Amino acid sequence: MQPPIRLGGSARIPNMKTQNQPTDGLQPQTDTPTKTQRPLGITWRSIILGAILIPPNSYWIMYVEGIWHTGHPTAMSLFWNVVFTLLVLVIINMGIKRVAPRFALTQAEFVTLYVMLMIASALAGHDSLQLGLPAMSHPFYFATAENKWGAQFHQYLPKWLTVQDPDVLKGFYIGHDSLYRPEVFFAWLYPVLWWCLFIVALGTVGMCMTIIMRKQWTENERLSFPIVQLPMAITEGGGNVSFFRNRLLWVGIAIGGGIDLLNGLHMFYPNLPMIPVRHTGMDLGGFFPGPPWNAIGWTPLPLYPFIIALGFLLPLDLSFSVWFFYLFRKFQQVLLAVYPFPDLPRMPYFAHQSFGAWFTYFAFAAWMARGHLKAVYKRVVGQPGGADDSDEPISYRMAVAGIVIGGAVLYWFTLRAGMGPFAIIPFFAIFLLISIGISRMRAELGPPAHEMAGGMDAGNIMATVVGTKALGPATLAIFPLMWWFTGRGYRTNMMPCQLESFRMANQAKASPRRLAWAMMIALALGGLSAYWAGLHLQYQIGAKPGGMVEHEWGHWSELSSRLYNLSGPDGVGIGFAIGGALFTGWLFLMRSYFAWWPFHPVGYALSMAFGVDYFWSCLVISSLLKWLVMRWGGLGTYRRLLPMVFGVILGEYTVGAFWSVISVILRVTTYDFAPG
């Protein structure tokens, strides 16, 4: 008998003992609708209401994130703009339940609203179309005789996916113009519609993959899905008064909301005190001015209350592993200062270490699902012993067809754009590998955020493995246009949102088939709304410091550099990716043989890429608090404290959202309570 493997939930693994983690305190619900229960609840009124809310939601995100670079509702795993909107609607619904209960929304309808807004927010988010929109124009507006972009790569950029007219682009960057001038509107309309087709195809492939994996992660491994805990608690019964009568909930709201209220007032009245909690407040790197310790660089000390609360929901081994491996990353920087490699400026290849780790995590997820995938295959080809797909949104055969058709559209689209025919499949394979890894990781563990910036894009990985010379200028030039979905950070990746959506529908006894249609509507309308909001605001206001336009410089400058210096495979980078994969495999092996092993492989995968910097110290605090609670109070005390934890999150999300709305109304920057 093999020793036990520990997972974030109480997974059931064939031929292995399982070990539940009571330290999680969050047991996944298993109330799957039976054959005699017909899952309902997702009504047309909820879908229509969700569709109505998508455009203003996209406008809000594009304004605060894309223009002002503040608030960052989509930088965290749990989008605060969606939770705030849901909370407001729940409070209104509680009043409706008292005076006209037949018109009140059900939990299934609230799940529909949440899902549609979450998908639309992901598209309008910081790591998605806020990058895709300016990419359509940036290399043309900023081309000069000095940088020679025009001669280098303009000929490789497709006209049907870009806007190249300098007269049209002037208003986009300077502002004080209108999107609705005919020559401006129609210059953008054609490429935007093409990109919306791409979005629907990409979202369809992702949704079909989550349908195939849903039962494995929800029912077979019984992962806990921590991210959906709060939305499901808020919407239970369409909004329960008992939830809001909990005293500990209001203690948490007072803590989180009180800090944001005080800090927000400080922005308008500087004489009022301020409680510094942001990552910009203190840099620990300043305490180490001399070599080699100054090599740690920028090391912030964030103290966000809501991230501490989110960290309290995590398994202890994950929260500990994230900040431990963050410090391990800093140690590598110091070690390189002592033993430098001047000929290898990318050392120690953090992005490549991270990709190697995600590759192993993906392989682990595939190995765990091998029995389920075999049963799915039998179902698709019609062999006996196939998996039951009667509870799925669509049959497994239809899901596979969706992947094939959607994949064919993506291939044709990218080939027509100019990418080499042999580069397309590995390009999307890398993206899907990372997306599946993120989806399972969020279902199992639910970290506060999962930014993976600084070289984790599919184009960079391919350039490392085969070299820029083999890829060629035409393929390299297309990579920046695709950077919005496989590039900057993956925080707004749609696949985990889709997987969590089906989990929420399962808990709410809602129809997964109807939810799938709602998700498709959100994909199409969310894409159009994000483009509309971004263009409308850019032509009104123009480019602002730190806004979405500034995020375009890096990868276009990198493209120029690559075209000047075409090279072969990066053997050292490949070695670090393999090393990261092997090290992650060793971490999995140690977890399987030693129940006390505290290092989670996901902690290493997350911490090697930039992004953990924004919240690492919050997890130090939350892991210490949770250890003390579990050590001296036990699981019962932990569960009794959950309302206060939810309250801290709701308090910050509510007051922080209030300041964000004020910034949109007054058109001024206000207190920014969330990192990004």
pLDDT at position 511: 85
Q: What is the pLDDT of residues 259-303, one digit of tens each?
A: 999 999 999 999 999 999 999 889 999 999 999 999 999 999 999
Q: From the CA atom positions of the chain, what is the Rg in Å?
A: 24
Mean pLDDT confidence for 642-652: 96
pLDDT digits (tens, 9 = 90+) for 443-467: 999 999 999 888 889 999 999 999 9
Task: Please give the residue that has the higher pLDDT: either 61 or 453.
Answer: 61
Per-residue pLDDT at 303? 96
Report whether 118 contacts 497 (CB < 8 A): yes
What is the Cα–Cα distance from 629 to 611, expressed in whole angstroms?
28
The verdict on residue 618 lying in a domain is yes
Report helix, strand or coil for 362.
helix
What do you get for the CA distance between the two ends of the chain, in Å? 46
How much of the chain, in percent, has pLDDT values that exceed 70?
A: 94
Identify the residue with better confidence: 494 or 37.
Answer: 494
Secondary structure in 3-state letters for 489-511: CCCCCHHHHHHHHHHHHHHCCEC
For residue 167, being part of any structural domain is answered with: yes
- The pLDDT tens digits for 63-98 are 999 998 888 999 999 999 999 999 999 999 999 999
In a domain, 36, yes or no: no
Instruction: Provide the number of structural domains found in the chain.
Output: 1
- Match 């889709």 to its residue by tokens: 498
CB environment 581-599: b (16+ within 10 A), e (fewer): bebbbebbeebeeeeeeeb
Instruction: Let me know if residue 329 belongs to a domain.
Output: yes
Q: Higher pLDDT residue, 476 or 242?
A: 476
Q: Which amino acid is at 518?
A: A
pLDDT of residue 40: 57
Letter string b/e over residues 246-276, b meaning 16 or more CB atoms within 10 A of that residue's CB: beebbbbbebbbebbbebbbebeeeeeebee
- Say if residues 529 and 476 touch (Cβ distance below 8 Å): no
Owning domain of residue 652: 2-30+43-666
pLDDT at residue 169, as a whole number? 96
- Count Cβ atoms within 10 A of the Cβ of residue 38 and give its class: 0-12 exposed, 13-18 middle, 19 or more buried: exposed
**Does residue 522 belong to any structural domain of this protein?**
yes
pTM for this structure? 0.91
Helix axis angle for 494-507 and 512-541, nearest 10°, is 140
In angstroms, how far apart are the furthest CA atoms of the chain? 74
Secondary structure in 3-state letters for 363-403: HHHHHHCHHHHHHHHHHHHCCCCCCCCCCCCCCHHHHHHHH
Band (241; pLDDT cuts 50, 70, 90): confident
Average pLDDT, the chain: 91
Q: Which two tokens stand for residue 581?
A: 């994969």
pLDDT digits (tens, 9 = 90+) for 577-623: 999 999 999 999 999 999 899 999 999 999 998 889 999 999 999 99
Residues 503-541, buried b or exposed e (16+ Cβ, 10 A)? bbbbbbbbbbebbbebbebbbbbbbbbbbbbbbbbbbeb
Q: Is 18 exposed, middle or buried (0-12, 13-18, 19+ CB in 10 A)?
A: middle
Angle at 312 between CA 311 and CA 317, to 5 degrees: 75
| 673 domain residue, yes or no | no
pLDDT of res. 544: 85
Q: What is the pLDDT of residue 610?
A: 85
Residues across the chain = 676
pLDDT given at position 39: 53
The three-point CA angle 514-226-628 to 5° equals 165
Statement: residue 167 has pLDDT above 80: yes
Confirm whether 176 is domain-assigned: yes
Tell which residue, 2, 11, 84, 66, has the closest CA to residue 657.
Answer: 84
Burial of 337 (0-12, 13-18, 19+ CB in 10 A): middle
Asked whether residue 674 is domain-assigned, the answer is no
